Structures are given as C-alpha cells and as structure tokens.
Chains A and B, each alone.
Chain A
Amino acid sequence: MVKAKTQWNDERMDRIISVLLRTGVILSSIVVLIGGIWYLAQNWRLAPDYHTFRGEPASLNGLGGIMRGLLSWHGRNWIQFGLGMLVATPVARVAFSVFAFFEERDWLYVALTLFVLGVLMFSFIGR
C-alpha cells in the first residue's frame, strides 16, 4: 500500500516538474525575444564590441537595477529579466522538489534538496 502511494506521487511529481520546466522555458523565451527585438530596433546601427571584458553596468547585474530598467522600457533590461526567469526555472524545480519529497515523507531527500536550494540561494544572494 505504502509503495503504491509513493509511486503515484513520484509519477505526479514527474508530471508537475515537466510542466514547470516547459512553462519556464517558454515564458522566458518570449520575454527575451520581445526585449531583443525592442533593443535591436533601437540600436541596430551600433558596432558590436565584445573583444574586451568590461563587466556589465550595475543596472544589469542585480535584481533591483534590472527591475528599474524594466519600468523605463530598456530593451536590455527586458532581455536580462527574461534570462533571469530562465535561470529561476531550475531553481523553482528544486523548490518544488522540497515540497514533493515532503509530501512523500522522504526526509532524507527533503534535507538533500534543501541543501541544494541553499547552495543556489547562496549563488544569487551571497557574494
């Protein structure tokens, strides 16, 4: 009985993860595409220069700067926002897995998944 319940949950977990990943990729692609078209429409004449590494301005590195740029309709910020959504997709998958393993009362995997989530958070918040 217990086994049957676990399996059903595993299958349901697979299905939800599948939908989650697909939605994240599609939504972020749309935002990146729109931002890209907008950016190119305004700047297509520029000469590209990626030969030397300069880093990106603060307005494109952190969430606060990116968000402010969204409101003033900067194409680059919209692309960056879309890329951020894309990166958030696997993070959301891990966060969902914490919940799914919790539902299965699989404490070992709740702990392992929380640890991975912690590493991801450190990458985004820690310096």
Chain B
Amino acid sequence: MNLLLFTLLIWICSLGAGLLGSLTGLGGGVIIVPLLVLAFGVNIHYAAGASLISVIATSSGAAAAYVKEGYTNIRIGMFLEVATTLGALLGAFLVAKVSPSAIAIIFGIVLLFSAYRSLRKVPDTIDTRPPDRLATLLRLNGDYPTAQGLTTYNVRRVPIGFLVCNCAGILSGLLGIGSGPLKVLGMDQAMEIPFKVSTTTSNFMIGVTAAASAGIYFHRGYVDPALAMPVMLGVLAGAFLGARILPGAGTKYLRILFSVAIVILGFEMLVKGLGGKV
C-alpha cells in the first residue's frame, strides 16, 4: 500500500468515527486509537498522538456552538480544568513509563466503561435543597435554557467531582483521548450538574485538557504530521456532518450499534494488551 492510499483510507475511517461519535455524543476520539492500532497496525504512541490532535479539533469546533447557546458553564469548566490539566500533564509524562501493553489494557477498560456509560441515562432531578457552601464560594451554580425557560441549578460535592476530573485528565494524557464519559460522570453524577450542562462543559474542557498533554506529545515525537493530518481532517469533517444531520436522526439504535462496536474494540485491546502484542 502506498502513502496516498493509506492516507485516504485513514481519512475515510476517521470521517466515519467522527460522524458516529458526534451522532451518538460519544466523541470519535475513543475509537480512533483502537482503529489505528488494530486495523492499520499503527504503533500505539503514534495512534495516541493523532487521536489527541483530533480530540482538540472536535472539542474546539463543537464548543464554539455550545458556548453560544448558553449551555456551557464557563466557571465550572475553568475550575475543573485545574484538575484535568494537572492530570493530563502527569498522564503524558507517564506514557514513557508505562509499557504499551499496559496502555492497551487500560484502553480496553476505558472503552468498556464508555460503552456502559453511553447506554444508561439518569434523568435530571429537581433540586430543592439549599446550595452547597463550597460551590457558592466558587460561584459554580448557574442556569441553562430548558423547555420551561432559564432553569437554575446548584452544584454539589465539589471535591469528588474535582478528583474524578483529575483522573479523567490522567487518562486523557496517557491514552490520547478526550475522556468525555469520565468527566461527565464526575459532573453529572457526583456534582449533580444537569446532563446537558455536564456534556457541553465536558466538551469545552476537553480541548484545554488535551492541549496540556499536547506540548509533551510534540516534544517526545508522538505526533507524526503525515498520520495526524488525515485523522484530524477526517474526524473534524465527520463531526461537522454529524452536527448537520443530528436533528431528526434516529440516534437511539445508532447509539446501541456504536456501543457494541466500542465493546468489541475494548475486548480486542484487552486481548492484545494481555497477550503483550502491542
């Protein structure tokens, strides 16, 4: 296979990943690495480098739209970015210390967790308790547009959310992914932030989190331009297409289908990692 064909194939696969990722809200980044490693035989470090770049592209592109719509809570994002960027720095340093097989195993577990998280959705509850003191001090409470107009919400259990986001940052730096599902878990479950606010704010944070690892990725040579180019352009084009067809698309079955694909990739990565074949 020559470089032109290879680049085109990777571009098409990345486009598919970006499209599915945006239609299902799972992000394309999480399947880029297993796709490159398992289907194209790319080294896991180069795969993570290309994926990290694509994550910054889609996160920034999508955030541009969400921020304007008023869902994103910039203060929550800024505050939790302290946790995620510190984690991302640590995660990127760890890449050289952890064996590629161990990275593949961790990746497999993260994929299985993402699939599990994507299939369950807890409805937002109406909160009548008094606001949390730390959240008030940090001015994290906010409001967001709903069918009933602007609705206010109170943020709770700030330290737990901070810790979860720190772990999400470490995984992001170690694996070259956005760690969206874990960030959302911390915000939506621990901090009781409404689901829509959690997902858009998580997306807002992903770009900055990934940028904190990117400096180290560049220095260490994990980012190969000829590989990152089709991945970035493909995922971005896919995400853009997905955002265009999203209203009215039957995403429920797509979500299940995509989750099944993620489970399969997760097991493949686990097997590969456990067999030491990475």
Contacts and interface: CB of A to CB of B under 8 A. Distances in A.
B219 A61 contact: yes
Interface string A51-68: 111111000111000000
A125 B212 CA distance: 11
Interface string A71-101: 0000011011001101111110110010000
A55 B221 contact: yes
Interface residues of B, number: 64
B64 A25 contact: yes
Contacts of A116: 78, 81-82, 85, 208
Given A48-B6, A55-B220, A83 B63 contact: no
Contacts of B44: 53
Given A83-B53, A123-B215, A124-B215, A61 B3 contact: no
Contacts, number: 195
A120 B225 contact: no
Classify the interface of chain B: helix, strand, loop or mixed. helix
B223 A80 contact: yes
- Provide the main secondary structure of the chain A interface: helix
B152 interface: no
Contact of A123 (B45, B138, B211, B233): B211
Interface string B65-79: 101101010110011
16 contacts: A14-B68, A18-B68, A21-B64, A25-B236, A33-B233, A36-B230, A45-B2, A48-B1, A50-B227, A62-B219, A83-B229, A93-B207, A109-B79, A116-B208, A120-B208, A123-B215
Interface of B: 1-4, 6-7, 36, 40-46, 53, 56-57, 59-61, 63-65, 67-68, 70, 72, 74-75, 78-79, 81-82, 85-86, 88-89, 92, 138-139, 207-208, 210-216, 218-221, 223-230, 232-233, 236
Interface of A: 10, 13-15, 17-19, 21-22, 24-25, 28-29, 32-33, 35-36, 39-40, 43-48, 50-56, 60-62, 76-77, 79-80, 83-84, 86-91, 93-94, 97, 106, 108-109, 112-113, 115-116, 119-120, 122-125, 127
